[in-house]
Structure 1
Amino acid sequence: MLQVFRSSWALLFGILLLMVGNGLQGTLLGVRGGIEGFSTFEMSIVMSAYFVGFLGGSRLAPEMIRRVGHIRVFAALASMISAVLILYPALAHPVTWTLGRVLIGFCFSGVYVTAESWLNNAATNETRGQALSLYMILQMAGIVSAQGLLLIADPAGFVLFIIPSVLVSISFAPILLSVSPTPAFDTTRPMNLIKLVRTSPTGAVGILLMGGVYSALFGMSAVFGTEAGLSVSQISGFIAALYMGGLLFQYPIGWLSDRMDRRTLILAAAATGGAAGGAAMALGADYPALLAAAFLIGGMSNPLYSLLIAYTNDHLEPDDMAAASAGLLFINGVGAILGPLVTGALMGIIGPQGFFLFLMLLMLSLAVFTAYRMTQRAAVPVDETASYAPVLPTASPVAVEVAQEVAIEAAHEEESDALAS
């Protein structure tokens, strides 16, 4: 991993700044929306809009890159992000914020596609898995550190909107000045969606549900905190706990996933996350309990995305794994769009605890569905399972395909070892 960092540190530093900017703007809007008097329903639409744009960017950005090249796409989209971040406080209205979130989601998706393709091009077959792990760590670190920036100025002012705009602008320099000649860009032809669902019902349903869970965590956590009457520092700590859990549990769950029936691990992680959501509802406004629940929910939900991709790969031929990535991203995107909307509706009906009710219902639904599927299909032998590669639900098509490449290479190595013996 040190070799990857030494060869790509400037690019990774630029990505870290991008994630700090994105993490700060997501939390800040949830807090500022309450100050502006936006309703929970209005904020749910605003937060959902990001994922509409992100899904659109995932599908359109590759074609944009093929037409005009990586550098032009990156510079144009990153400049647009910086501009939208500045405009949020100047145009504080649910409609303009919704349009801004669609645009910023589209742009961040395109920027991730560009940066991830550069990172993938800089990696070798031997270091690709390490590069993906380091990239995931920096993503999480960026979001966690962004929560601390929320405390340095008044959310009712302009300063906190200027900071992420500046960070995104600064991120241009290390990325554009450090990259090697832009790589050729192509994406794999996607697998038929119906075939993907039939091949791995648990993987498809799980990815859909985790899309909803992650978008609710990313988009509605600050809205929940505002509605629950938490202070800005408490909201910052609450959201940081979500992502710290995701960072710290990623590798233990990944280690276990290569050594046991993955469905048992999916069931256990989903049930644990669901139970944490139920406990948070029962304990109400006890802040230490909220932090513990957030740590467990984030710790279970973030690794589940990678675990479900790995489980889906267990039922695919190596030649089909890359083709499945587009379908998995689309399913995740649909769940992500619906997540904030349903969460907002529940919060409108029963109050702030609707946030945890939504998380609990989705994670327990995954646990129940996984338990059912365990009665319908025999487990794949552990020595025949695909490799686990960490990837976040916010990943672009490039990162997901890189994860698939890691699994494909591992599968081919196992086949070669089997033939040799």
Structure 2
Amino acid sequence: MLKTLKPFPLLLLSGFLIMLGNGLSNILLPVRMQHDGVDISNIGIVLSMYSVGFLFGAIYCRQLLQRVGHIQTFAICGSLTAVAILLSGLYSDPLVLGAMRIITGFCIACTNATLDSWLGHSATEKNRGRILAVNQIIIMSALFSGQFLLNLAPVESTTLFILAGILFSFSITPIVIGRHKGPFIEDSQGMSFFTIIKLSPLGVVSCFFCGVLYSGLLNMLPIFASNNGIEGFDLSVFMGAAIAGAIILQFPIAYLSDHFDRRKVMFGMVATFIVFSILIPFLIYLEWFKLTLMALAITTGLAACLYPMSISEAFDKVIKEQILAAMGSLLAIYALGSILGPYSAAIAMESLGNNALFGFTVVAAFLLLIFISIRMKKSEALAIDDQESFVMQTPSGAVSVLDPRTVYTQSELSTNAGVQIAVNLAYENPAIALNMVKALARRDIKNASRLVAGLSQIKAVNIGKLYSAIVRIAPYRSIRTAQILIDAAPERAEQLVDWIIMQDDDDMCKIIVAIAAMMPDNGINILQYAAQKMVGKYPLAILAMTEEYINILSSSLDEMRPVDRVATDPQQTATELYNRMQDVSPEQSADIAITISEALPDASFDVAEAYLHNLLLSEEHPFKNKESIQKIQTAINLYMKEVAKNIPEHAVEVANTFIEIVPDVASSVVEIIQDAEQYSDSYLTQTITDKPVESQINEALQKAVELQNVDDT
């Protein structure tokens, strides 16, 4: 763990300091406003304004990072939060306080987004989950510690406001003096509220109620506690327990979420929340302070855990490439709930008394409980193994690229100053580019790869020669070098394929497939282009290339989340790949179809249908010429022998496909299946009779089976 965190101490220190100041300000403002005699409803409005700023910060933080950079963004936000808390200490007018809370919420969202994207850029795929957990623990620990700073000076003085301002200002120092350079932030498309609601109604609704419950509790608890005589250090302990619960309960909830139906776990969480919310006022009345702390920690912990549970529930319905966009929408939905929470709780407390805080949370939680019950009845539960894993997460204002469930973006090829200078020089004199790559490759292959990525975008530089400059020195880097080049310049993929085919590399097929795999939206086009170049000189390589690509696709499907697997539509991909390859090499049509079907058995029906379609098109009059009919029947029989031998579990399905169009092959097809000794006569007959006998095809197949049984007896 220490090795994992070694590159990030200054970033994490900055995050701790700014959240420490935020933790102090969060408890200081409601206590100070109550001391100054501000109405509870006005206190609720002021505290809700933090979430208004938080919402705008979550929406616009990426634009700010793109425009001014990471260090500047953090510095601006750190100084603005310092100004906001200092002005809050000088002016007690609710309008001023509300405006300052908007600024604070905006800045906290932006600073957390800054740290998260910075850590995400520096993290690896293996350690980013651990870094996310550590970052979340540091945030919550800082908020917890901030509650105890309230005891350093009287609330009525400006000392605590000054202390919070110092913490906000000082948080800028570690990140400014650090050696890390902020990463480049790419544009990202968001997901509309309508889309995310349609995909995961429960994820959206529970996320909204999480904002209502968690924000309502944390903001109004200081008022509730003070009205019950809990002040000074006891108040800090009281609020500290509330925040500690949000950290501690994530661990048992994570276990339950990953081992049981998530909706049942959520139902149990909300039901338990209701019980403890009812219990807390009675424990306060009985003056059982320690039990009150325990009940409060459980209550706020359960409310906080609704956020990562909501995210996991929504992610079950979202493809991996859309997870970040969905997370941004869920964060905004949480913010909307957290705007409503404090004000609604304040109105309830002002109208019905101090204990109405927990009456309000009980009503809100009961509404959520009803909605969970409705969703459980309306849709079937996802298999436990197919559920998205629970990841410790707090609504910090960041759309976390550290989340291990998101698509990992390799950052090892970010350019350094030396590489950028070399690229700029190559723009002026492209002829020296290859010499620079060769010289650098002999000394530092990693920096040479960076240079190749940069040079690939210069059209005057031959991309094939760039590839060869690395591979001749480091042949083992052939596939990785091709991937680097295409990642940097995907529009030049065909040029690189031309070069690789011309070089007649032993790993030609694997390299071309690696290039195609780097371009999921254009991969089959690249394979077809390569096949067209190979067909004259390397016809057998077309089949090898097809097999390599479809095997990679098949392996990736096994590792995919269920929703990603459905979105990929492997049957359609397999059929398209077959059609493209057989267009280039029709004489290998059957071999290509069988190869694809073996790798993706679930696509065997679709591929067989496409094969038969192409087989019929290859004959001018397929059903009017005896020779053509015989040729088609022979081809079908040969195809069925391969299917029955290699993918017997789909043999009957494929047989029905053929017989539907060419009923005359029914008898021979059934005989082929039986000869394969994979099916008993009774099984085959049952499989056929289970299907609706509504056409000539099924009748023909049924008769063929019966005739075969008579012959056997």
TM-score by length of 1: 0.93
Instruction: Compute the displacement of 1:413 (Å).
Output: 9.7
Instruction: Compute the displacement of 1:31 (Å).
Output: 0.8
Instruction: Compute the displacement of 1:395 (Å).
Output: 3.1
Matches of 1:296 and 1:280, distance apart in 2:
11
1:363 to 365, 389, 396: 365
Q: Return 5+ residue gaps in structure 1 as ranges.
A: none
Q: Which residue is equivalent to 2:66?
A: 66
User: Does the Cα contact within 8 Å between 1:49 and 1:337 map onto a contact in 2?
Assistant: yes
Indicate the structure (1 or 2) with the bigger Cα radius of gyration: 2
User: Does the Cα contact within 8 Å between 1:278 and 1:357 map onto a contact in 2?
Assistant: yes
Q: Which residue is equivalent to 1:130?
A: 130
User: Does the Cα contact within 8 Å between 1:17 and 1:171 map onto a contact in 2?
Assistant: yes
Aligned-CA RMSD value: 2.0
User: Does the Cα contact within 8 Å between 2:58 and 2:328 map onto a contact in 1?
Assistant: no
Matches of 1:212 and 1:188, distance apart in 2:
28
Instruction: Compute the displacement of 1:323 (Å).
Output: 2.1
Instruction: Compute the displacement of 1:260 (Å).
Output: 1.2
| 1:406 partner SS | coil
Q: Which residue is equivalent to 2:349?
A: 347
Matches of 2:49 and 2:143, distance apart in 1:
19
2:332 to 297, 310, 330: 330
User: Does the Cα contact within 8 Å between 1:258 and 1:382 map onto a contact in 2?
Assistant: yes
User: Residue deviations 1:252-284, cap 9 Å, x none?
Assistant: 211221111111111111111121111123444
Instruction: Compute the displacement of 1:416 (Å).
Output: 4.7
User: Residue deviations 1:332-364, cap 9 Å, x none?
Assistant: 111010011100100011111121122222223
Matches of 1:109 and 1:83, distance apart in 2:
16
Instruction: From the superposition, tell whether residues 284 and 92 of structure 1 become closer, same or farther in structure 2 (CA, over 3 Å).
Output: same
Matches of 1:329 and 1:210, distance apart in 2:
11
Q: Which residue is equivalent to 1:161?
A: 161
My pick for the range that moved more, 280-289 or 207-216, is 280-289
Q: Which residue is equivalent to 1:378?
A: 380
Amino acid at match of 2:140: M
Matches of 1:274 and 1:98, distance apart in 2:
31
User: Does the Cα contact within 8 Å between 1:118 and 1:179 map onto a contact in 2?
Assistant: no
| 1:230 partner SS | coil
Matches of 2:159 and 2:82, distance apart in 1:
14
Q: Which residue is equivalent to 1:288?
A: 290
Q: Which residue is equivalent to 1:112?
A: 112
Instruction: From the superposition, tell whether residues 357 and 408 of structure 1 become closer, same or farther in structure 2 (CA, over 3 Å).
Output: farther
Matches of 1:194 and 1:188, distance apart in 2:
18
Instruction: From the superposition, tell whether residues 198 and 114 of structure 1 become closer, same or farther in structure 2 (CA, over 3 Å).
Output: same
Aligned residues: 415
Amino acid at match of 1:312: A
Amino acid at match of 2:405: V
Amino acid at match of 2:327: S
User: Residue deviations 1:43-99, cap 9 Å, x none?
Assistant: 001100100011011112221221222222211111111112122121111111111
Matches of 1:216 and 1:413, distance apart in 2:
47
Matches of 1:176 and 1:406, distance apart in 2:
31
Instruction: Compute the displacement of 1:122 (Å).
Output: 1.7
Instruction: Compute the displacement of 1:292 (Å).
Output: 2.3
Q: Which residue is equivalent to 2:20?
A: 20
User: Does the Cα contact within 8 Å between 1:30 and 1:226 map onto a contact in 2?
Assistant: no
User: Does the Cα contact within 8 Å between 1:47 and 1:101 map onto a contact in 2?
Assistant: yes
Q: Which residue is equivalent to 1:312?
A: 314
Matches of 1:7 and 1:363, distance apart in 2:
42
User: Does the Cα contact within 8 Å between 2:320 and 2:405 map onto a contact in 1?
Assistant: no
| 1:151 partner SS | helix
Amino acid at match of 1:76: I
Instruction: From the superposition, tell whether residues 29 and 197 of structure 1 become closer, same or farther in structure 2 (CA, over 3 Å).
Output: same
Matches of 1:227 and 1:300, distance apart in 2:
24
Q: Which residue is equivalent to 2:398?
A: 396
Matches of 2:240 and 2:18, distance apart in 1:
17
Confirm or deny that 1:184 pairs with 2:184: yes
Greater RCO (CA < 8 Å, at least 6 residues apart): 1
Q: Which residue is equivalent to 2:323?
A: 321
Matches of 1:413 and 1:200, distance apart in 2:
28
1:187-198 paired onto structure 2 within 5 Å: 187-198=187-198
User: Does the Cα contact within 8 Å between 1:43 and 1:223 map onto a contact in 2?
Assistant: no
Amino acid at match of 1:406: R
Q: Return 5+ residue gaps in structure 2 as ranges.
A: 409-553, 561-598, 601-713
| 1:10 partner SS | helix
Matches of 2:124 and 2:360, distance apart in 1:
41
User: Does the Cα contact within 8 Å between 2:57 and 2:397 map onto a contact in 1?
Assistant: no
Matches of 1:204 and 1:341, distance apart in 2:
21
| 2:344 partner SS | helix
Amino acid at match of 2:316: D
Amino acid at match of 1:209: F
My pick for the range that moved more, 134-143 or 293-302, is 293-302
| 1:390 partner SS | coil
| 2:389 partner SS | coil
Moved over 4 A (4+): 412-420
Instruction: From the superposition, tell whether residues 257 and 378 of structure 1 become closer, same or farther in structure 2 (CA, over 3 Å).
Output: same
Matches of 2:218 and 2:63, distance apart in 1:
27
My pick for the range that moved more, 15-24 or 4-13, is 4-13
Q: Which residue is equivalent to 2:247?
A: 247
Amino acid at match of 2:312: A
Matches of 2:232 and 2:389, distance apart in 1:
41
2:300 to 298, 306, 309: 298
Matches of 1:139 and 1:359, distance apart in 2:
25
User: Does the Cα contact within 8 Å between 1:136 and 1:392 map onto a contact in 2?
Assistant: yes
